[in-house]
Structure 1
């Protein structure tokens, strides 16, 4: 294991020298530094990087809107995004996310409508991983796809636990069955 890590470190250093620090290498190094992709090999990471689309958003521009069909997970490369929930006459800010954060992850699992909206707070760059591309990866590199789905399940589980904790500690009246489930 230690030899593999040492060899991979040398490989990354050499890759940076060979390419002169190209945008592709910067993207790979950015992705490699994210916990979501930590278990992927260089080649698996490269394969996933190739199917991720770079998107830019102006301040105030919608990344996606609550109720729209979900199609992609987003990774913030730069900028910031606000995640909002609109219910009747109520607006709730769920999160403000910055570089390195993920959002829209449930779209990788199914095509249900978005449960919240995401809006750029300032000029923002994000990488989008579409469900169709991840599903294709299941055929091309099932091991890499399994690692991504495992990371995805950990991310969703962690967020669910945090939500449950907020419900448990809130003053909001919650149905007893819901409180017991958390």
Structure 2
């Protein structure tokens, strides 16, 4: 063995070395890199003993060892060593890196970063704690999202109603199970909301399906009254029940509520049903008057627009003489790149007619990514693939 090798191995912990011995060896290592390598070579039980002994050491020694653990990528171990040393924000970041989101959330609370704590609780699946913190913040939209994930859709729907978000309220009410005593009340509310939004046929189909599947629903006077009202709006009369019975289950597609348009966007192509529904709840319906600018060329991207009704013109720039590049209608989407990439808008988009659209802001989408790890991975993977395909197309 050379002299340099002997020096680099000086104090190296051997198998069977106690945690206290390993702690001293790491403290005596000639450099943090060497110490990190020595730590990586320890067995699990040795690392646990070392951390237990180090927790009783002086703050300065704990901080030095925590840096060694960071270099060895034991982020959670480093966080535990620093916990109580007055660096709660750093501890939280380390716990996030180690995938311990609930511990990170508790650290964010100690650091006074309450919003980050709530998001970390949600990301870690501690939905009751997330709900509690969001309630303290008065963040009713986030509370509603937690309630959906907790299997409490009726409560979520009430919050969405207070927030004036009818499409999210409908989605939440759709999760109220048939065995719930509030199921029929939920169906009735959904029908009224759908009709008010212009989806009368969809409301009637929902009501007819509910009444076919339940004797209680067929005998409910409120549902019968609502059915009559919807049939009158559809131009039907006393024989409407026979007309409804003859409608095929695959009757002409109802007016779009945007969900299927959103689902069809390529970067969302691998999302699970639950993740897709959560993303849809992030979207907001917006009404844009004719002549208004949706996207202004050269300005920072503001998020995604999904066209539901109306038409927009896409121009090469904001100038009066700018060339019109395209006209887009229902099902088209604009600005999806700004959700995952900070880049200026590449064209000028103006409403040709009055437009109804779904909108997802960058802030709303970022919170969605922060609380949906698997969805975020799939979205970024597809975005990268699509971007590579565009580059290849331009180079051929």
Distance 1:32 1:68, change over 3 A: closer
Deviation at 1:135, TM superposition (A): 2.1
TM normalised by structure 2 equals 0.33
Secondary structure of 2:287 counterpart: strand
Task: State the partner residue of 2:325.
Answer: 94
Q: Tell me which of 334, 342, 347 is aligned to 1:111.
A: 342
**In structure 2, how many angstroms separate the alpha carbons of the residues matched to 1:89 and 1:32?**
32
Contact 2:258 2:308 in 1 (8 A): no
Gaps of 5+ in 2: 1-173, 203-255
Give the 3-state SS of the residue equivalent to 1:114 in structure 2. coil
Structure 1 unmatched ranges of 5 or more: 1-14, 165-180
Structure label with greater radius of gyration: 2
The question of 1:34 aligning with 2:264 is answered: yes
Query: How many Å apart are 1:72 and its aligned residue?
Result: 0.2
- Check whether the contact 2:262–2:306 (CA below 8 A) recurs between aligned residues: no
Q: Which SS does the other structure have where 2:316 is aligned?
A: strand
Query: 1:135-146 counterparts in 2 under 5 A?
Result: 135-146=366-377
1:70 aligns with 2:301: yes
The structure with the greater share of residues assigned to strand is 1
- Aligned mates of 1:32, 1:73 — CA distance in 2: 10
Shift of the 106–35 alpha-carbon distance from structure 1 to 2, 3 Å rule, reads closer
| Superposition deviation, residue 121 in structure 1 | 1.3
For 1:90 and 1:28, locate their aligned partners in 2 and report how far apart those are by CA, in whole Å: 33
Q: CA RMSD in A?
A: 3.4
1:68 and 1:41 map into 2 onto residues whose CA distance is 33
Give the Cα–Cα distance (whole angstroms) in 1 for the partners of residues 318 and 294 of structure 2.
19
TM-score normalised over the length of structure 1:
0.65
Between the aligned partners of 1:32 and 1:102, the Cα distance in structure 2 is 8
Hey, which of these two has a bigger chunk of helix by percent?
Answer: 2
Q: Distance in 2 between matches of 1:160 and 1:81?
A: 27
Change (3 A) 1:121 1:149: farther
How many residues are paired up? 152
Q: Does 1:43 align with 2:281?
A: no
Change (3 A) 1:51 1:33: closer
- Determine the C-alpha separation between the residues in 2 that align with 1:134 and 1:90: 35
Change (3 A) 1:87 1:27: closer
SS of residue paired to 1:27: coil
Cα distance in 2 for partners of 1:97, 1:159 equals 21
